[in-house]
Amino acid sequence: MNKLEVNNLNLFYGENHALKDISIKIPNRQVTALIGPSGCGKSTLLRTLNRMNDLVPSVKISGEVKFEDQDIYAGHDVQQLRMRVGMVFQKANPFPMSIYENVAFGLKAQGMRDKKQLDKIVEESLRSAALWDEVQDRLDTSALGLSGGQQQRLCIARTIAMEPEVILMDEPTSALDPIATHKIEELMDELRKKFTIVIVTHSMNQAKRISDKTAFFWMGELVEHGDTHQVFNQPQDQRTQGYVSGEFG
């Protein structure tokens, strides 16, 4: 079953044709990795999936992006969509408030006021993000005091708290050291049981380690998409072959 389905998607930033006729299916409860050199359009594609590109004034989009068979660009409620399709950013971006408030933010934005329920969800989310043990005795302190890896796990907890169906991750470990990266990857292995994950990554080893499906992008085109094992071991396209073998990119 496919959670997300992109059909003939074209995206322009002004005159710049950033995504060229992309069609891709994202299967449910699997990890799909989007790889390719910088500027190839993989992050842009990720940001069309929860309509973050709406923030860019000059952006033009044609084609369709279906989330559970509904075109998200056809009058879909954007806030509703972003609750169901959460996002973790390249650089951990906790809000300048307490750890607790960070996790409760999205729920409070939806009007949840029940303190007991909030407490419960905050704890569950922090546990799911493997952060609870490290922060349970300082939930009221500023999130900015956490380490980079902890901050990123906090951002994951914040996203999980909304109980999304899909989590988009935009190079979530590129600013982290190997140990923190390892923790996030372990966490993703847990998360794949409950969520559909789409991750943009620059690290081919990371894609190999964590993903079920891999899509390789090149200059705005989707060159190759398939099982991770196959894309890395028997790439069909010359360009994929060159990229995954480290010849360029």
Binding of residue 162 to another protein (CB under 8 A): yes
Among 34, 83, 126, 176, binds another protein (CB under 8 A): 83
Contact positions with another protein (CB under 8 A) in 115-144: 142
Gap between the Cα atoms of 201 and 177, Å rounded: 15
Asked if 122 and 100 touch (Cβ cutoff 8 Å), the reply is: yes
Q: Could you tell me which stretch among 77-85, 128-136, 189-197, 232-240 binds another protein (CB under 8 A)? A: 77-85
Hey, is 222 helix, strand or coil? strand
Binding of residue 76 to another protein (CB under 8 A): no
* Nearest CB to another protein, comparing residues 159 and 214: 159
Gap between the Cα atoms of 175 and 232, Å rounded: 25
Gap between the Cα atoms of 201 and 180, Å rounded: 15
Q: Could you tell me which stretch among 27-35, 125-133, 155-163, 222-230 binds another protein (CB under 8 A)? A: 155-163
Gap between the Cα atoms of 132 and 192, Å rounded: 19
Give 222's contacts (C-beta < 8 A, 6+ positions apart).
22, 23, 24, 215, 216
Distance of CA 186 to the CA centre of its chain: 16
Gap between the Cα atoms of 46 and 41, Å rounded: 9
Amino acid at 177: D
* Nearest CB to another protein, comparing residues 78 and 219: 78
Q: Tell me the per-residue interface mask from 10 to 39 with another protein, x by CB under 8 A, - otherwise.
A: ------------------------------
Binding of residue 149 to another protein (CB under 8 A): no
Binding residues for another protein, total number by CB under 8 A: 27
Q: Could you tell me which stretch among 8-16, 18-26, 85-93, 193-201 binds another protein (CB under 8 A)? A: 85-93
Asked if 227 and 212 touch (Cβ cutoff 8 Å), the reply is: yes
Binding of residue 194 to another protein (CB under 8 A): no
Backbone angles phi, psi at 246, to 5 degrees: 80, 15
Shortest Cβ 80–another protein spacing (Å): 7
Among 52, 131, 199, 244, binds another protein (CB under 8 A): 52
Among 23, 62, 109, 177, binds another protein (CB under 8 A): 109
Shortest Cβ 96–another protein spacing (Å): 5
**Residue 80 CB coordination number (10 Å):** 10
For 69-92, give the DSSP string: TEETTSS--HHHHHHHEEEE-SS-
Binding of residue 55 to another protein (CB under 8 A): yes
Footprint on this chain of another protein (rule: CB under 8 A): 50, 52, 55, 79-83, 86-87, 89, 91, 93-97, 105-106, 108-110, 142, 155, 158-159, 162
